[in-house]
Structure 1
Amino acid sequence: MEPGLRRKERWAMEFGQEIAALWGEYFESREIGVDDDFFALGGNSLTGIKIIDRVAQDYGVRLSVRDFYLAQTPARVAELIEQGRAAA
C-alpha cells in the first residue's frame, strides 16, 4: 500500500473517532465506536437533529436528515462531512 493511502486511511479513521466522540456527547457521554449504529444506540430524531446542527457548527457542513439517517455510523457520517467539505 502506498504511504499516501495509509496516511489517508489513518486520517479517515481518526476523523471517524472524532465524530464518534462528538456523538458520545449526545448519548450520555458513552464511548461510541466508529461503526456503532445510531439507531442501535437509541438515537432518535431529536438526537439526530442536535448532532446535525453540531456538525454544521463545528465543521461547516450541513447534512440532510435523510443522509444522516442513511449513514447510521460515525465513520460514514465522517465520510459525508469530507464529501461536503470537498464540494464547498
Structure 2
Amino acid sequence: MHDISALWGEFLNCGAVGADDNFFALGGNSLIGIRIIERVSQEYGVELSVRAFYLAETPARVAELIEQGRTRS
C-alpha cells in the first residue's frame, strides 16, 4: 500500500499521500488516473479498469484491487 501512496504522490505532485486520502480531493483527474493505471499495469501486471480505479478512490482500496488481481493470475 505504501508503494501505491508513493505512486499517487508522484503523479499528483503532492508529496506524502496517506492510505485513505481521496484521489479526487488531492486534485486527481482522468488523465492522471489513466497514467497511474498504466503504471500499475507495468509494475504489478494487473489490469485495473478506469471505473474500478475511480470507485476505489484511495491508495488502500487500489492496493486491495491490485492484490485481488494478483491472486487471480
TM range (shorter): over 0.9
Which 4+ runs in 1 deviate beyond 6 A?
none
CA deviations 1:36-67 (Å, max 9, x no partner) are 00000010000000000000000000100000
Cα separation, 1, equivalents of 2:68 and 2:13: 28
Gaps of 5+ in 2: none
The secondary structure found in structure 2 opposite 1:26 is helix
Which of the pair has more CA radius of gyration? Answer: 1
Partner of 1:24: 9
State which of 18, 22, 35 in structure 2 corresponds to 1:33. Answer: 18
2:41 aligned partner, one-letter code = A
TM superposition score normalised by structure 2: 0.96
Deviation at 1:27? 1.2
**Aligned counterpart for 1:55 among listed residues 40, 49, 65:** 40
TM-score (structure 1 length as normaliser): 0.80
What CA distance in whole angstroms lies between the structure 2 residues aligned with 1:38 and 1:29?
11
Q: 2:62 aligns with which of 77, 83, 86?
A: 77
Aligned residues with identical type, % of pairs: 67
For structure 1, the 5+ residue unaligned runs are 1-15
